[in-house]
Structure 1
Amino acid sequence: MFRERMVPGEPEIFVAWQEGTTDRTLLAIHGGPDWDHSYLRDPLERLDCRLLMPDLRGCGRSGRVPEEEYHPDGMMRDLVRVLDEFGVERADVLGHSYGGMVAQRFAITHPSRVRSLIVSGSSVLPVPPDAFAGWTERDEILARQENPWQREDLTPEECVRAEAFAAVAANVRRAEAVPGYLRRLEEVRFSAQYLRPYLAGTLVTPRLPDAAQRIAKLGLPVLLLHGRQDMTFPVSLVEPTLELIPRARAVVLEAGHMLHVDDPDGYLAAVREFLAA
């Protein structure tokens, strides 16, 4: 069962957490970034390790900061504070989507705090402009997707929320999983704190240059956990990443961008096997 804690500091960071039966701690970092952690709870809540799930600064129930402070360096400081608050010297770190890039940056900048790295539904390498060329099904799905940014009656926060619902067909490939995913989205606390600097062209990406080479030098165990039908981060980047990071392994599921929703059992099995190695 999850408990909740506010980690003091500037800003306060909200963390949902639960104890485990092992001495390992998994720090799970959500995507968006203007989402909260809650869409990742299932199936990770079924793991045996301690689980820490913070809302990034400006997201969910965490504190807001001035626009120029939505910077990856601030996120790194926040994650250190979270580990310190819970007395965790080294954690296994999982990041999904945008959170996958945040997790990579944390491993590179704070290697002494990271035991292993799971990059879920994200990529280590930059996504090239032609990454999805020739994928007709993706083109058709995106063409049908409603664009809430064309509506003048919605606030920025409402646009972020509407976009998440509009993208369901692109993100979840298994029809039976859609109703449960819609219920998850209803519970997400959406914000628009990162949207504003993004639209202004001032938002700094968490992706570091030559991240693959820098991660390889760390010698960390790395799991690339990916959906074969991911329409945000192409599965084609998995193999080149494995060639650059000798200690990386990959598990590719028959799933979309929300692979933990499409195949929760396969996702959980992959995470468990990796953490047990």
Structure 2
Amino acid sequence: MSVIYERFVGVSEDPVVELFVALTAEKPVRRPLLVIHGGPDWDHSYLREPLVRLADRHDLIFPDLRGCGRSTRGLADDQYSPAAATADLLRLLDALGVGRADVLGFSYGGMIAQRLALAAPGRVRRLVIASSGVLPVPADAFDGWRERDRRVAAEAAVWSGGSEAGPELTRAAAFAGVEANVWRAESRDDYRDRLARIRFSAEWLRPWRAGTLPAARPQDAPARLAALDMPILLLNGRQDMTFPAGLAARAAELIPRAQAVLLEEAGHMAHVDSPGPWLEAVAGFLRPSHDEEGRA
């Protein structure tokens, strides 16, 4: 079991924002890996396993985004935006003394990761976009998938019936979405255990419901990411009911240095459904090439 160091790091003075961050080393120096959680009204904890198994070769950095987990909450609604979250993460790297890092973004965090790479490509060594998307999801992307229709109904009912926008609504929706997000029945108890440990919030939900939350996915992402000439891994479950796996494969065709890995018996929470193959894909992709080792 890896030792986890926990810190609060100031990343903004106006407004005052501190990010809670969990680290596998007090000072990240060995091939740092920044992990960006999704939600966004979740925290990072559901991603620790299996990623902490990489601690023998990477110093992992698990922040909670502003408004999430143990990071600063209670900001004005217009202070919750993908741009603000991206800026926070760059300042976090500065505060930790990390010049370049590998970056893994999961789900909503995958779009923040894209923004970070586009905003500061010199800070990102390799980029993993996990259970997320580079291409927009068409309105008819899931038409005819009756199993999905059945599985997503419970979570949809929570969102449509929730008059309150507090953390308990976010929590209820997460638990209602277990079958939609985890494909294999035998993996669901593990996932429920993870959900029980998350410090849910509803800070980002307010501007989302008000229609003022900016879109997270960068415009023209495939072309802009291709221009970075950066190694990119698109890692999805074949049974993902949020981001279609086929779009990951298509995006890889549009980005010369991107590769797509699709895990057959895995849903949106592919790291829960297939932790071994998922971690193997991440570890293999992050392993430095001979050229990179020579420049280190």
* Fold shared per TM-score above 0.5: yes
3-state secondary structure, aligned to 1:68: helix
Instruction: Give CA-to-partner distance per residue, 1:174-230, whole Å, 9 cap, x none.
Output: 111111110100000000000000111000122111011001000000000110000
The equivalences for 1:7-22 within 5 A come to 7-8=9-10, 9=12, 10-19=16-25
Q: For this pair of structures, how many residues does the alignment match? A: 277
- Contact 1:67–1:197 (8 Å) recurs in 2: yes
User: Match of 2:195?
Assistant: 185
**Please, what is the CA RMSD of the aligned residues?**
1.7
For 1:77 and 1:238, locate their aligned partners in 2 and report how far apart those are by CA, in whole Å: 26
Change (3 A) 1:21 1:148: closer
Q: 1:11 is matched by which residue type in structure 2?
A: V
Q: Does 1:53 align with 2:55?
A: no
Match of 2:282 among 265, 271, 274: 271
Q: 1:67 to 1:145 in 2, by over 3 A?
A: closer
Unaligned 5+ runs, structure 2: 290-296
Partner of 2:72: 63
Give distance in 2, aligned partners of 1:227 and 1:22.
31
Greater Cα shift, 48-57 or 6-15: 6-15
Counterpart of 1:160?
Answer: 170
Q: Percent identity?
A: 55
The answer to which of 64-73 and 109-118 deviates more is: 64-73
Q: Which moved more, 1:107-116 or 1:11-20?
A: 11-20
Partner of 2:210: 200
Tell me whether 1:104 sits opposite 2:114 in the alignment.
yes
* TM superposition shift of 1:242: 1.2
Once residues 162 and 241 of structure 2 are traced to their aligned partners in structure 1, the CA distance between those partners, rounded to angstroms, is 27
Residue of structure 2 in register with 1:114 after alignment = 124
Deviation at 1:18, TM superposition (A): 0.6
8 Å CA contact retained: 1:7, 1:81? no
How far residue 146 of structure 1 moved from its aligned partner, in angstroms, is: 6.3
For 1:160 and 1:233, how far apart are their aligned partners in 2?
Answer: 20
Matches within 5 A, 1:126-141: 126-141=136-151
2:38 maps to 31
Q: Is the 8 A contact 2:29 2:98 kept in 1?
A: no
CA distance in structure 1 between the partners assigned to 2:279 and 2:156 by the alignment: 32
Q: Which ranges of structure 1 fall in alignment gaps of 5 or more residues?
A: none
TM-score, normalised by the number of residues in structure 2:
0.90
* SS of residue in 1 equivalent to 2:17: coil
Indicate if the aligned counterparts of 1:98 and 1:122 stay in contact, CA closer than 8 A. yes
Residue in structure 1 matching 2:158, options 143, 148, 166: 148
Distance in 1 (CA, whole Å) between partners of 2:251 and 2:52 is: 28
CA offset at residue 21 of structure 1?
10
Alignment match, 1:43:
50
Q: In the alignment, what sits opposite 1:88?
A: 98
Q: Structure 1: how far apart are the matches of 2:130 and 2:173? A: 21
Cα distance in 2 for partners of 1:68, 1:60 equals 19
Whole-Å separation in 2 of the counterparts to 1:133 and 1:2: 43
Distance in 1 (CA, whole Å) between partners of 2:117 and 2:125 is 9
Alignment partners' CA distance in 2, 1:143 and 1:162: 13
Which residue identity is paired with 1:225?
Answer: L
